[in-house]
């Protein structure tokens, strides 16, 4: 089961910081990051891929789900 980090309504760099904190706490888990801005999608995706994670993005009812997997 994935850990869910809800960063909707937060402006960058806060979604990236929230993602970093989650990854630092649980390096082997899967994560779903919820954001509502395309710039956050780009920044979180860039951060996670640079850390060696794979990112899948889905759009759902006005927000984005970033599925981050090792």
Q: Choose the catalytic residue: 6, 12, 55, 65.
A: 12
Q: Is 9 left (phi over 0), alpha (psi -120 to 50) or beta?
A: left
Q: Which residues pair with 32 in a beta bridge?
A: 4, 67
* Residue 42: active-site member: no
Residue matched to tokens 């920044």: 43
Catalytic residues: 12
């Amino acid at each position: 089961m994935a850990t869910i980090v809800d960063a909707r309504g937060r402006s960058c760099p806060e979604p990236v910081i929230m993602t970093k904190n989650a990854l630092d706490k649980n390096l082997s888990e899967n994560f779903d990051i919820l954001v509502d801005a395309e710039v956050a999608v780009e920044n979180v995706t860039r951060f996670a891929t640079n850390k060696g994670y794979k990112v899948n993005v889905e759009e759902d009812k006005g927000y984005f789900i970033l599925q981050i997997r090792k």
